[in-house]
Amino acid sequence: MRIPSLTMRLSLMFALAVLSVLLLAGILFKQLSMMHFGILDQQELSGKAQSAVSILQTVTDRQAFERRLPELRALLSHHPGLAAMIRGPEGELWFAEPAALQVPARLLAGLSGQPWEWESQDRFYRGLNRELQLPGGRTLRIELVLDSTLHQRYLHSLTHWFWIAFSLCALFSAGLGWLVARNGLRPVRSVTQVVSSISAQSLSGRIPMDDVPGELQGLAQSFNAMLQRLDDDFVRLSSFSSDIAHELRTPISNLITHTEVVLSRQRRSEEYREALYSNLEELQRMAKMVEQMLFIAKADNALIVPERQPVEMFALVKQLFEYYELLAEEDGISLCCTGQGTLMGDAAMLRRALSNLLSNAIRHSVEGGTVRVDIVTGTQGLEVSVSNVGSVIPPEHIERLFDRFYRADPARREGQSSHAGLGLAITRSIVQSHGGSLACESSGGCTRFTAFFPQACPASRS
């Protein structure tokens, strides 16, 4: 079943609302008109009945009544729709003007002064009777009947034309509602047009907020934010693919060139062995790069689950210091570790993460400087920071430091064999797999990487 469009729904709701108001107004108008005509008839009947009583109040018998007939006829003469019947004490008809009407007996038996109405031969009547006491306990009955057929025909005609007008208003309101809904939904169509024009090649498009109504501002802002994230991720993915090509092109070119040179002439077996060892180093570097990329891919897909065992961080840092001690001594860099703390985690993965941070700190530290590792255990978790004194990383590079193959130094962004730019990305993946976070701050000649782990051992907190 096809779902009605939003324009159709709004048009129908608009038409339904208009017709509901018209129907209610029509019903109220008809009821008020009926009440108005009923009050007019009642006032006329009551007035005539009171006048008739005033004329006949001195009547004592039939002869006295006959003498009052001229006044009675004068009272009724200017009201052609009004009929009067006066019955004597025995119920005999003394007077009927213009003619005696067949009034239903159940209505004649009603109380004096109580209005009644009936319909006969397509004509509608309203009546009123009054009783006048004669001497001797006798009763003179005055019956007044008003023909209100014109009023009823007016109401019937009014109802007829109302339904015609109601039908025309239904069509008009539906058409007007369609125009209003279509114009009102114009911003939605504009948003839809912008959204439909966005593709993988045009993620830079945004919904213009100036033309978006207030009800859609939140949706448009959220969509623009989503587009911005997709654009950023798409740019990073494109850069990642380009970086992979650049990083693999250099060692492959080296291997091809070196192999071609070796095969260009006949050589001794020792030279071939030396050439193979050289090629093996390049292949090992490429294998390491592939292994690092595979590790990051697994971490992104939550396929790496670290072991949970107590890891004494101070001892782990000291082991790394022993490994990097000779490298640091070459540049006169001293290594310093402060603080204690135990973390529930995977020792091998944590060693790899800290090794990457230490390697970077030593490589970018000034000659004769100090690389510090500070371990702080707090109530919220354990914090390990690695800092060095050296060149400050510009702020625009800090957010992208943890991207794959990204290097803050433009001169090192392509084809460097020693570092592929995956270390910080791997470190962040390891920290995040432990539920932590990794941040960098660089100012005043000092660069600090801080890893925060929320799950420190309770013993270490004490």
- Please, which residues bridge with residue 439 across strands? 450
Q: What is the pTM of this model?
A: 0.50
Query: What DSSP assignment string belongs to 310-326?
Result: EEEHHHHHHHHHHHHHH
What would the two tokens of residue 432 be? 């995040």
> Residue 135: how many CA atoms within 13 Å on its side-chain side?
6
Rg of the Cα atoms in the chain: 52
Domain 6-164 adopts which CATH fold?
Beta-Lactamase (3.30.450)
pLDDT at 414: 46
pLDDT at 337: 94
Q: How far is CA 66 from the centre of its chain?
A: 87
pLDDT at 391: 86
The structure tokens 């608009």 sit at 14
Q: What is the arrangement of strands in the sheet containing 123-133, beginning at the earlier edge strand?
A: 93-97, 82-87, 139-147, 123-133, 116-120
User: CA-CA distance, 335 to 321, in Å (whole number)?
Assistant: 7
| Longest CA–CA separation in the chain, Å | 166
pLDDT at 409: 61
Domain ranges of the chain: 6-164, 198-303, 305-454
Instruction: Collapse the DSSP code of 453 into the 3-class scheme (helix H, G, I; strand E, B; otherwise coil) and give the result.
Output: strand
pLDDT at 312: 93
Quick: pLDDT tens for 83-117.
888 888 887 888 887 766 677 776 666 666 677 88
Q: Are strands 139-147 and 82-87 parallel, antiparallel or unpaired?
A: antiparallel
Backbone angles phi, psi at 307, to 5 degrees: -70, 155
Domain 305-454 homologous superfamily, CATH: Histidine kinase-like ATPase, C-terminal domain (3.30.565.10)
Residues of the chain with pLDDT under 50: 412-417, 459-462
